[in-house]
Amino acid sequence: MVDEILTIVLDGAIYASWLFIVALGLTFVFGVLKILNIAHGGIYALGAYSTATLVPIFYSLGMPEQLVILAMLVSALAVAIVITPIMERGILRRFYGQDEVLIVLVTYAIYLVLEDVQKLIWGMNSLYVSEPRELLGALEFGSLYYVGYDLALIGLAIFCGLFLWFVLNKTQSGKIVLAVIHNPEISGCMGVNINKVYLAAFFIGAFLAALAGSFTAPLISVQVGISVAVVIESFAVVIIGGLGSIPGAVIGALIIGMARAACVHKLPEAEIFIMYFCMAGMLIFKPKGLFQGAQARKI
Amino acid sequence: MNFFRQCLILISSILISLLTFVGISNADGHKGFKLGVVTFLSGPAAEPFGVPAWNGGKLFIKLLNEGKVPAPYNKKGFGGMKITAIPIDESGGATKQVQEFRNLVQRDKVDAVLGYVSSGDCMAIPSVADELKALTVLYDCGTPRVFEDASYKYVFRTAAHAAMDNIAIAKYLIEKGHDISSIAGINQNYAWGKDSWKDFSVSVKKLSPSSEIKNELFPKIFSGQYGTEISALMNSKAKVVHSSLWGGDLQSFILQAKPRGLFKRTQVVFSAGDHVMPGLGNKYPEGVILGARGQYGMMAPDTELNKWFYKSYMDEYGVFPAQPPYRMVQGLMGLKMAIEKAMEKNGGKKPNKDEIAAAFKGLEFDSPGGLVQMKLGDGHQAIQPHAIGTTVKDKDGNITVTDIVRYKASCVNPPNGIKAVDWINAGFPGADC
């Protein structure tokens, strides 16, 4: 019994960590730019593809195995550096202040374009890059073996969450971002360069999406279509937690991760709809999510 | 001004008439055979299934048109008619596919449609095919329900359904002395996965009544993350874990389960496990019992027809053919045989769909995977011999298949008129092994 509970908690935590890293960028971009970015899934896929491309090159250069994590970070960074100016400066800035539905449609269109970009660059074949997963070996928990890499994802998620929280709350730049979130017009009047803040916020969101893809690549066969489930599940997380809320993303990811793990172990028939059940429950009782506080009405 | 307008109308009318005439002339003068080919060309099912299948199909159609296929397929095209294929992407779900099917039949005026990997699409298309009186060959999908729950005049399936895969695996486990006292399964949550698990678990229970089902998992298709499911399977301590996962899902499951020791701790069986071998290479685990949905790829029979196909595919694409190209070529061979049989009867004219359908019913033809017999579903559903093997590393360290056991079609397929699950429940009456 203890073994089973430990297994459920560990499985849930690993899944929640992965979900949190993906959802963190999505909720942060919404918080700052007020954009529900469906193309987030496309950036995640680009992160996975770039890692699947860069890591074999890294190995072929005879670099030390332990530094492969650096190669994965670089690939995520490269995606964010390339995609941010194109998406934020090139397309999205033209739609700021427009109807939210229109912006969702724009990001959906970008998502479709990114899917085709993947086909154009990498073709239809699957890519495999499972080697980084062997780096940390396996650990025994109860009667089961867990791969060290999977457990390290929990650490990565905690680091990403705490780092973003620290930057936002304890640094001057973060406080400027918070001011922009609170009221972009007044922040602008006070001399804050809103465009720069938007660009930086989108970059962080894109980097987090690419980072999630990059660290997921060793777990899966990287192929066209991997972003679909990611878009749906990360949306579920932010709906439960509240759009734009980092603590909300933590709780949303944990609720879905733990509920899913418990279902797979104890009630497998319910696994397929548990995420939607959580989401629907939240929409009925707290439509703005767990961490979306009351907002003052602007006159 | 009026004069100019009248001239313009006159010239436009002449042009439209000419274009219409040319169009009609071309339609009347079309001596070839227009074939709609539907398979996954994008999405997660494309790389492991759709693309290799279409690669095989494309190559075979090219060789048929050039008359370079060995006997009995050595007549050019279909009965001398040049084959023109219109490939269509199967991704997008059943509703989209029904629309695409209507487009092929009503707009593109194809002579036949060959397609469908997804069992969901195979359940949706046949009723529309009969409504439109469109000759349709299902070449890949596995759910037994297509012809068990209904009958169709113009629809044929040239590959055996999934019951064969799972019955054969259950028999193999017993024949090879594996411990099947407890079983667990991980199968996708739709027709294919559900039917596969049902056929396997019922077969095992029939062959070994004391066997216990420990766990039944049905993750959603294309979920990609199986960490929790792997824990649940390992916790269940089942002696055998069955899976009909395919494509990217199977690849991800293998990549995630291998380092966690699932393949060492329990006997894993994959009912359709061969098609990811070319991609995964040596990442594929040893000791896995697998089927290829027929005698395909590494388990193909040692016949001249197979040697020719295997070599042609290898030469063209540099990789061995797994089940998808075999099954598409099997469909094309069936269609060719039916058309040429119909032409023999009508004096060599291009046969109409009723003539082809009549010739297709109950047809038997050789394929690289062995003899295909349209014996079920009143002559509309194929049965074929099957093979099951176990993966092992050869002396060069490459994964290959060994310990292959071959099963006659009549040993692992139900007789006509009996549903697969009823046949299994009845203890396989009349099975000729």
Beta-sheet strand order (sheet of B212-217): B212-217, B182-186, B240-243, B267-270, B289-291, B386-393, B399-407
User: Which residues in chain B have Cβ-Cβ distances shorter than 8 Å to A119?
Assistant: 42
CB B423 within 8 A of CB B164: no
Sign of CA dihedral B202, B289, A14, A277: negative
Q: Based on the domain organization, do B227 and B254 belong to the same domain?
A: yes
Q: Based on the domain organization, do B197 and B286 belong to the same domain?
A: yes
DSSP letter assigned to residue B251: H
Tell if the CB–CB gap between A128 and B223 is shorter than 8 Å: no
Mutate to test the interface with B, among A221, A269, A271 (most CBs of B within 10 A): A221
pLDDT tens track for B332-376: 999 999 999 999 999 999 999 999 999 999 999 999 999 999 999
| Radius of gyration of chain B measured on its C-alpha atoms | 23
pTM, two decimal places: 0.85
Q: Based on the domain organization, do B296 and B332 belong to the same domain?
A: no
Chain A / chain B CB contacts < 8 angstroms: 116
Tell me how many domains chain B contains. 2
For residue B1, the model assigns a pLDDT of 47
User: Which residues in chain B have Cβ-Cβ distances shorter than 8 Å to A126?
Assistant: 47-48, 248, 251, 279
Identity of the residue numbered A32: V
pLDDT tens track for B18-74: 444 444 444 444 479 999 999 998 877 888 889 999 999 999 999 999 999 999 999
CATH number, domain of B403, equals 3.40.50.2300
For residue B26, the model assigns a pLDDT of 43
User: Which residues in chain B have Cβ-Cβ distances shorter than 8 Å to A125?
Assistant: 47, 279
For residue A209, the model assigns a pLDDT of 97
Q: Based on the domain organization, do B213 and B340 belong to the same domain?
A: no
**Where is pLDDT greater, at A244 or B170?**
B170
Tell if the CB–CB gap between A224 and B46 is shorter than 8 Å: yes
User: Which residues in chain A have Cβ-Cβ distances shorter than 8 Å to B232?
Assistant: 264-265, 268
> How far is it, in rounded angstroms, from Cα A204 to Cα A165?
13
CB B159 within 8 A of CB B144: no
Nearest to B227 among A3, A14, A269 (CB): A14
For residue B8, the model assigns a pLDDT of 54
Residues of A with CB under 8 A from a CB of B: 3-4, 7, 10-12, 14-15, 18, 119, 124-126, 128, 130, 133-134, 138, 143-147, 150, 218-221, 223-226, 228-229, 260-261, 264-265, 268-269, 271-272
In a domain, B6, yes or no: no
Half-sphere exposure of B34 (CA within 13 A, CB side): 14
Q: Taking residues A167-182, what's their average pLDDT?
A: 92
Q: Taking residues B191-195, what's their average pLDDT?
A: 88
Q: Based on the domain organization, do B176 and B229 belong to the same domain?
A: yes
Q: Based on the domain organization, do B188 and B113 belong to the same domain?
A: no
Tell if the CB–CB gap between B255 and A228 is shorter than 8 Å: no
Tell if the CB–CB gap between A225 and B44 is shorter than 8 Å: yes
Q: For residue A12, give the nearest of B229, B6, B172, B34 by alpha carbon.
A: B229
pLDDT tens track for A1-53: 777 888 999 999 999 999 999 999 999 999 999 899 999 999 999 999 999 99
| Closest-CA distance of chain B to residue A185, Å | 42
Largest interatomic CA distance in chain B:
94
> How far is it, in rounded angstroms, from Cα A265 to Cα A253?
18
CB B45 within 8 A of CB B90: yes
A80-84, A272-276, B16-20: the lowest-pLDDT one? B16-20
- Which structural domains are found in chain A, ordered by start? 2-285 (1.10.3470)
Q: Based on the domain organization, do B272 and B178 belong to the same domain?
A: yes
pLDDT tens track for B264-322: 999 999 999 988 888 888 899 999 999 999 999 999 999 999 999 999 999 999 999 99
Tell if the CB–CB gap between A224 and B42 is shorter than 8 Å: yes
Tell if the CB–CB gap between A224 and B280 is shorter than 8 Å: no
Nearest to A221 among B225, B231, B248 (CB): B248
Q: Taking residues A194-200, what's their average pLDDT?
A: 94
Over 90: is that where the pLDDT of B119 sits? no
For residue B45, the model assigns a pLDDT of 82
In a domain, B411, yes or no: yes
∠ CA B92-B98-B103 to the nearest 5 degrees? 105
For residue B170, the model assigns a pLDDT of 96
In a domain, B432, yes or no: no
Residue of chain B with shortest Cα separation from A143: B235
In a domain, B126, yes or no: yes
Domain with B243 in it: 163-301+385-425
∠ CA B125-B95-A228 to the nearest 5 degrees? 125
| Closest-CA distance of chain A to residue B46, Å | 7
Nearest to A225 among B43, B219, B234 (CB): B43
pLDDT category, B116, cuts 50, 70, 90?
very high
Identity of the residue numbered B193: G
Nearest to B260 among A147, A224, A271 (CB): A147
Mutate to test the interface with A, among B41, B42, B47 (most CBs of A within 10 A): B47
Q: For residue B383, give the nearest of B228, B193, B161, B61 by alpha carbon.
A: B161
| Closest-CA distance of chain A to residue B227, Å | 7
Over 80: is that where the pLDDT of A192 sits? yes
pLDDT tens track for B378-407: 999 999 999 999 999 998 888 999 999 999
Nearest to B227 among A3, A150, A218 (CB): A150
Omega cis (within 30) before B72: yes
For residue A299, the model assigns a pLDDT of 58
In a domain, B237, yes or no: yes
Nearest to B218 among A7, A229, A268 (CB): A268
Q: Taking residues A87-103, what's their average pLDDT?
A: 92
pLDDT tens track for B223-249: 888 999 999 999 999 999 999 999 889
Place of tokens 């969702």: A104
Cα B353 to chain centroid distance, Å, stands at 22
Burial of B100 (0-12, 13-18, 19+ CB in 10 A): buried
In a domain, B15, yes or no: no
User: DSSP of B297-330, one letter per residue?
Assistant: GGG----HHHHHHHHHHHHHHSS---HHHHHHHH
In a domain, B327, yes or no: yes
Sign of CA dihedral A144, A126, B35, B107: positive
Burial of B360 (0-12, 13-18, 19+ CB in 10 A): buried
Q: Based on the domain organization, do B38 and B113 belong to the same domain?
A: yes
User: Which residues in chain A have Cβ-Cβ distances shorter than 8 Å to B260?
Assistant: 138, 144-147
Nearest to A223 among B44, B220, B228 (CB): B44
> How far is it, in rounded angstroms, from Cα B356 to Cα B336?
10
Place of tokens 């104890």: A266
Tell if the CB–CB gap between A265 and B234 is shorter than 8 Å: no
Q: Based on the domain organization, do B91 and B213 belong to the same domain?
A: no
Q: Based on the domain organization, do B311 and B297 belong to the same domain?
A: no
Burial of A229 (0-12, 13-18, 19+ CB in 10 A): middle
Nearest to B47 among A14, A126, A264 (CB): A126
Percentage of residues of chain A with pLDDT beyond 90: 71
For residue B18, the model assigns a pLDDT of 46
In a domain, B85, yes or no: yes
Tell if the CB–CB gap between A219 and B189 is shorter than 8 Å: no
Average pLDDT of chain B? 91
> What is the token pair recorded at B230?
């792997």
> What is the token pair recorded at B190?
């739709």
Identity of the residue numbered B44: P
Q: Based on the domain organization, do B267 and B368 belong to the same domain?
A: no
Q: Based on the domain organization, do B40 and B151 belong to the same domain?
A: yes
